[in-house]
Chains A and B, each alone.
Chain A
């Protein structure tokens, strides 16, 4: 029991004193996940909007596939990206395996379907409401898409935050394609897994606390946003 107590004490000390090793790991985690989520949003939001707005053959297939991919297990994504980036794989010559770039790629693959699928739901509801009015004004399709993305910005920001939550908390994909190399590809989740197995509970706990704090912060922002959107939803 006192072991856990002292572990907590050390963990807090690490955080408060701004331990460089811990800081380095947290920073890389944020860089990888924020980068992945930005790129996933650039791809996923318009993709979700397009699936919501356009009637084309195979549209419902895409919608179902997106929904299915939303829950893709991170280890499977990691495995696929690993195979693509490994020496023998099609992109092997780029030499990206076990670099932060590989981790960003894996998280993009992981998070894009989630963002696209959730965005599709948000945009589809809005499009049902807006479509005839926008067409009545004579709005072009491209302009309509931008209107939906803009008017849905609060709901879509919540979608993006959900994507970030998934990215930052995931272990499997970054572990496989990053390799958890110290000072190179070690992020919070992989470090926690390693430190626990090594017995360095204090560092693991410190990272865990940072991770939970981040998750609370993200959910707090999402909560406030949801309340901002709520009046518009009431009708």
Chain B
């Protein structure tokens, strides 16, 4: 993955997403560097999933722009992957679930089988290769979803709470895979409610609250001394999502 061919950095310019009744993402502007692990923190309903879907191009901003600065005329969607908060399994075997996107992305037939085996082994699902994916447990489905994303060798990977349903051992496996992808040069953008995990994985933290980006800082600095009041009370576990609107900026 040479720097020249990368679609990153990603820039958001005053991106707003609204429905008829609510503004759900409010004028977000920031830039994501080509490498490193960015972790998005925020309470339930803060807008984390929406932000990932906006960046990934699944929904269009109502206002503002999303710019892949290195795209150079290429279609950025071919260089990305996403693991959704609720894993979506095609009604096929685990192996076929990985095979499908490989064929969509034009990975040569000859190398597909090898990639599929390696991906399944990576997340400890080797023996489920022929099992119908929708029969797997939710935790297994989530691991399969990550294996599928890994197989695509994306330049940027969006992960929406990838370990939400996982036991400690499986969580460890996932964190290992994420770390390995990071080392291989994949940009990681991930949400989590597990602050311990955020400390373990993050190079950079983005803290969002009620659709606003309140802080974006290197992880060490953020956990050491968050600049934003909301972020501080969030870290102390005091920021409650049912707090009345008047209390928020």
A160 to B104, CA, bound (A): 29
User: Would you call B206 an interface residue if the criterion is a C-beta within 8 Å of the partner chain's C-beta atoms?
Assistant: no
Cα distance A211–B104 when bound, in Å?
A: 46
B82 & A136 in contact (Cβ 8 Å cutoff): yes
Interface flag for B101 (CB, 8 Å): yes
Given contacts A132-B53, A138-B77, are A232 and B91 in contact (CB under 8 A)? Answer: yes
Q: Whose C-beta in chain A lies nearest to the C-beta of B152?
A: A137
Identify B84's interface contact among A133, A152, A231, CB under 8 A: A133
- Given A138-B77, A231-B134, A235-B134, is A133 in contact with B88 using a C-beta cutoff of 8 Å? yes
Q: Which residues of A contact B78 (CB under 8 A)?
A: 138
Closest to A132 in B: B58
Contact with B along A97-131 (1 / 0, CB 8 A): 00000000000000000000000000000000110
Interface string of A131-144 (1 = CB under 8 A from B): 01101111100010
In the complex, the answer to whether B90 meets A136 with C-beta atoms within 8 Å is no
B107 CB to nearest chain A CB (Å):
12
Interface residues of A (CB under 8 A from B): 129-130, 132-133, 135-139, 143, 147, 151-152, 231-232, 235
* Residue contacts A-B, CB under 8 angstroms, 7 given: A130-B90, A132-B84, A132-B88, A136-B56, A137-B104, A138-B75, A138-B105
B92 to chain A: which residues have CB within 8 Å? Answer: 151
Complex alpha-carbon distance, A135 and B60, angstroms = 13
Q: Considering the chains assembled together, what is the distance between the CA atoms of A138 and B101 in angstroms?
A: 8
Say whether B9 faces chain A, with CB atoms less than 8 Å apart.
no
Q: Tell whether, in the assembled complex, residue A143 and residue B104 are in contact, meaning their CB atoms are under 8 Å apart.
A: yes
| B81 is an interface residue with CB less than 8 A from chain A | yes
Q: Are A136 and B104 in contact (CB-based, < 8 A)?
A: no
- With a cutoff of 8 Å between Cβ atoms, the chain A residues found around residue B56 in the complex are 136
Those 7 A-B pairs whose CB atoms lie nearest each other, nearest first: A133-B88, A137-B101, A151-B91, A232-B134, A137-B104, A136-B82, A132-B58
Q: Which of B18-72 contact A (CB under 8 A)?
A: 53, 56-58
Main SS class of interface, B: mixed
Assess the B100–A130 pair: CB atoms within 8 A: no
Which residue of B has the minimal Cβ distance to A137? Answer: B101
Residues of B within 8 A of A232 (CB): 91, 132, 134
| Residues in B146-202 with C-beta less than 8 Å from chain A | none
- Give Cα A132–Cα B105 distance, bound, in whole angstroms: 16
Whole-angstrom distance between the Cβ of B51 and the nearest chain A Cβ: 14
Distance between Cα atoms of A103 and B116 in the complex (Å)? 51
Q: Is the CB of B88 within 8 A of A130?
A: yes
**B134 nearest in chain A by CB position:** A232
Residue of A nearest to B56 (CB): A136
Residue of A whose beta carbon sits closest to that of B79: A138
Nearest CB in chain A: distance from B146 CB, A: 13
Report the Cα distance A151→B132, complex, angstroms: 12
B221 at the interface (CB under 8 A from A): no
Distance between Cα atoms of A133 and B134 in the complex (Å): 15
CB distance from B79 to the nearest CB of A (A): 10
B220 at the interface (CB under 8 A from A): no
CB-defined contacts of B77 to chain A, threshold 8 Å: 135-136, 138
* Complex contacts, B134 vs chain A, CB 8 Å: 231-232, 235
CA of A139 to CA of B82, assembled, Å: 14
Q: Verify B135–A231 contact, CB threshold 8 A.
A: yes
Please name all residues of chain B whose beta carbon is closer than 8 Å to the beta carbon of A133 when the two chains form the complex.
Answer: 84, 88
| Chain B 105-119 interface 0/1 with A at a Cβ cutoff of 8 Å (1 = within) | 100000000000000
* Chain A residue at minimal CB-CB distance from B101: A137
- Whether A136 touches B135, Cβ cut-off 8 Å, given contacts A130-B88, A143-B104, is no
Separation in Å of the A106 CB from the closest CB of chain B?
35
Chain A residue with minimal CB distance to B53? Answer: A132
Q: Apart from A137-B104, A137-B105, A138-B105, what are 17 other A-B pairs with CB-CB below 8 Å?
A: A130-B90, A132-B58, A133-B84, A135-B57, A135-B77, A136-B58, A136-B81, A136-B84, A137-B101, A138-B75, A138-B77, A147-B90, A151-B92, A231-B135, A232-B132, A232-B134, A235-B134
CA distance in complex: A135, B90 (Å): 13
The chain A residue with its CB closest to the CB of B91 is: A151
Q: How far is the CA of A232 from the CA of B82 in the complex (A)?
A: 23
Residue of A nearest to B145 (CB): A133
Residues facing A in B80-137 (CB within 8 A) are 80-82, 84, 88, 90-92, 100-101, 104-105, 132, 134-135
